[in-house]
Amino acid sequence: MRTGGAVRGSDANAFIAQNGISQCNSGHRRGQISVVGIGPGHLSDMSPRAREALVAAEVVVGYDTYLELVRELLADKEVIGTGMMREIERCQVAVDQAIAGKRVAVVSSGDPGIYGMAGLVLELALKAPADVRPAVDIIPGISAVGAAAALLGAPLMHDFAVISLSDLLTPWEVIRKRTEMAAAGDFVIALYNPKSTRRVSQIEEVREIVLRHRPAATPVGIVHHASRPKEKVVLSTLADFTKEFIDMFSLVIIGNSQTYVKDGRMITPRGYRL
């Protein structure tokens, strides 16, 4: 775990007044945690409310890679960063800092309520005794699936399912069943965490499952590093998309039976009569 910096931002008072920082019965200031969705990565995609929360925070906690994306907003803050696979540790630190009476921001990429830190922070905060339990504010952000869809065109204009292929917290059998049901229901399917150096066969299995329900020519979009410097957009088909480069920084969107591509834009019709 890495820490650094001192404390606060100049515009904190407005955020404190707006969000009602309260006192505990003992007179000790009750801390607050803002779980901040920073969006896909570019500062221009962050909401004003998210910026205000970071400015108001005394302590900012997050995954090292995501902290770097907002580094210019963290001057004069105490910054606590961890590497991958340490989510419980850093969220517990955030809760402990808030119990001590500090204003804490937990940085989460995209939207914190979509595969982010919101749930874990809430679960840990609710374990604290009621008289010291910090308030938790969830600040939404542009999700990775929303950012990727915008770059591809309009692939999510009808019902869609979002599925993570990471089996670290969810058994692969459950993921496979969810994929089968989404494919059978003709949902557009967005895949988070589609492939890693360790997980290479699952994306192929997903392709085979969906091919049982959709034509091989079904459009598939792949977006790498949406709204970040290494951004790349690729259009492929259900038959061939696994031949493209796919990693943990990719998001894959598989069209439904009505999705088509025209002039380089992936479109799923909503059903309007044109």
Report the CATH number that the domain containing residue 253 is assigned in CATH.
3.30.950.10
219-224 sheet: strands from edge to edge:
160-164, 188-192, 250-254, 219-224, 232-237
- The predicted structure's pLDDT at residue 83: 86
Please choose, from the candidates 93, 100, 39, the residue with its C-alpha nearest in 3D space to the C-alpha of residue 69. Answer: 39
Asked if 89 and 82 count as a contact pair (C-beta separation under 8 A), the reply is yes
Please choose, from the candidates 109, 206, 121, the residue with its C-alpha nearest in 3D space to the C-alpha of residue 161. Answer: 206
Number of domains in the chain: 2
Q: What is d(CA 69, CA 28) in angstroms, rounded to the nearest whole number?
A: 34
Residue 244: which domain range? 145-267
For every one of its 274 residues, what pLDDT tens digit does the chain have, with 9 covering 90 and above?
A: 655 543 333 344 444 444 444 444 445 577 999 999 999 888 899 999 999 999 999 999 999 999 999 999 998 899 999 888 899 999 999 999 999 999 999 999 999 999 999 999 999 999 999 999 999 999 999 999 999 999 999 999 999 999 999 999 999 999 999 999 999 999 999 999 999 999 999 999 999 999 999 999 999 999 999 988 889 999 999 999 999 999 999 999 999 999 999 999 999 999 888 8
Q: Is residue 274 part of a domain?
A: no
Strand partners, 34: 105, 137
DSSP-derived 3-state class of residue 27: coil
Token pair 């803002």: residue:
34
Please choose, from the candidates 274, 243, 39, the residue with its C-alpha nearest in 3D space to the C-alpha of residue 157. Answer: 274
Q: What is d(CA 110, CA 236) in angstroms, rounded to the nearest whole number?
A: 25
Asked if 65 and 38 count as a contact pair (C-beta separation under 8 A), the reply is no
Same domain, 155 and 181: yes
Query: What are the phi and psi torsion angles at 98 (to 5°)?
Result: -70, -40
- The predicted structure's pLDDT at residue 130: 93
Which is it for the CA torsion 44, 48, 49, 51, positive or negative?
positive
Q: What is d(CA 67, CA 60) in angstroms, rounded to the nearest whole number?
A: 9
Same domain, 137 and 236: no
Q: Is residue 107 part of a domain?
A: yes
The pTM score is 0.87
Token pair 């982010």: residue:
116
Token pair 């692969």: residue:
172
Q: Is residue 272 part of a domain?
A: no
Helix-helix angle 48-56:12-19, to 10 degrees = 110
Same domain, 27 and 117: yes
